[in-house]
Amino acid sequence: MTAAPFRPSAAQLALMFNNFLMWGGFFMIIPLVTVHFVSQLGWAAASVGLVLGVRQLTQQGLTVFGGAYADRIGPRPLIAAGLFTRSLGFACMGLSTTFWTLLASAVLAGVGGSLFDAPKNAAVTALTSPQDRSRVYSLMGVAGNLGMVTGPLVGAWLSRYEFRTVALLAACAYLIALAVLLAVVPRVPGSLGAESGFAGLWQAVRDTPFRRFTVAMSGYFLLSTQINVAVTLKAVSLYGPQATGPLYGIQAGLAVLLQYPLLRAAERFLSQRQVLVLGVMLASLALGLMSLTTTFVQLLACTVLFSLGTMLVFPTQQSLTALMSPAGRYGSYFGFGALSLGIGGGVGSVVGGALVDVGQQLQRPALPWLTLMLIGLGTALALRWVLWSGPVVAEQSNAQD
- 324-375 pLDDT, tens digit per residue, is 877 667 777 888 887 887 788 878 888 888 888 888 888 888 898 999 999 9
Alpha-carbon span 5 to 128, nearest angstrom: 14
Please state the rounded mean pLDDT for residues 228-256.
Answer: 81
Q: How confident is the model at residue 55 (pLDDT cuts 50, 70, 90)?
A: confident
Q: What is the DSSP string of 282-301?
A: HHHHHHHHGGG--SHHHHHH
Task: Say whether pLDDT at 232 is over 60.
Answer: yes
Please state the rounded mean pLDDT for residues 231-241.
Answer: 85
Task: Say whether pLDDT at 400 is over 50.
Answer: no
Handedness of CA 28, 240, 257, 284 (dihedral sign): negative
Please state the rounded mean pLDDT for residues 122-134.
Answer: 76
Those residues with Cβ within 8 angstroms of residue 322's Cβ, 6 or more apart along the chain or in another chain: 125, 133, 137, 330, 333, 334
Q: What is the DSSP string of 220-272?
A: HHHHHGGGTTHHHHHHHHHH-GGGHHHHHHHHHHHHHHHHHHHHHHHHHHS-H
Distances (CA, A) of 178 to 183, 250, 365: 9, 28, 44
More confident residue, 5 or 29: 29
More confident residue, 62 or 87: 87
Displacement of CA 117 from its chain's centroid (Å)? 10
Q: What is the pLDDT of residue 229?
A: 83
CB-CB contact of 135 with 6 (8 Å): yes
Distances (CA, A) of 101 to 28, 107, 193, 276: 20, 10, 40, 38
Task: Say whether pLDDT at 4 is over 60.
Answer: no
- Tell which residue, 332, 345, 324, has the closest CA to residue 65: 332
More confident residue, 177 or 336: 177
Please state the rounded mean pLDDT for residues 292-297.
Answer: 91
Q: What is the pLDDT of residue 354?
A: 86
Q: How confident is the model at residue 245 (pLDDT cuts 50, 70, 90)?
A: confident
Q: How confident is the model at residue 399 (pLDDT cuts 50, 70, 90)?
A: very low
Domains and CATH numbers, the chain: 10-398 (1.20.1250.20)
CB-CB contact of 78 with 116 (8 Å): yes
- Tell which residue, 385, 341, 99, has the closest CA to residue 218: 341
Lowest mean pLDDT among 86-100, 242-256, 298-312, 372-386: 242-256
Task: Say whether pLDDT at 376 is over 90.
Answer: yes
Lowest mean pLDDT among 1-5, 8-12, 189-193, 382-386: 1-5
Q: How confident is the model at residue 191 (pLDDT cuts 50, 70, 90)?
A: low
Please state the rounded mean pLDDT for residues 273-285.
Answer: 93
Please state the rounded mean pLDDT for residues 86-110.
Answer: 90
Q: Which residues of 336-351 are buried (b: 16+ CB within 10 A; e: fewer)?
A: bbbbbbbbbbbbbbbb
Task: Say whether pLDDT at 239 is over 80.
Answer: yes
CB-CB contact of 213 with 393 (8 Å): yes
Q: What is the DSSP string of 152-195?
A: HHHHHHHTTS-HHHHHHHHHHHHHHHHHHHHHHSPPPPPSS-TT
Please state the rounded mean pLDDT for residues 153-180.
Answer: 87
On average, the pLDDT of the chain sits at 83
Q: What is the pLDDT of residue 6?
A: 67
Which range of 83-87, 246-250, 274-278, 360-364 scores highest in mean pLDDT? It is 83-87
Enter the DSSP assignment of 207: -
Q: What is the pLDDT of residue 107?
A: 93
Lowest mean pLDDT among 161-175, 302-316, 387-401: 387-401
Length of the chain: 401
pLDDT single digits (tens) 69-86: 877 788 899 999 999 999
Percent of the chain as helix, strand, coil, to the nearest 5: 85, 0, 15
- Packing angle of the helix pair 296-324, 230-239 (nearest 10 deg): 160
CB-CB contact of 24 with 77 (8 Å): no
Please state the rounded mean pLDDT for residues 245-261.
Answer: 78
Q: What is the pLDDT of residue 397?
A: 43
More confident residue, 257 or 196: 257
More confident residue, 190 or 283: 283
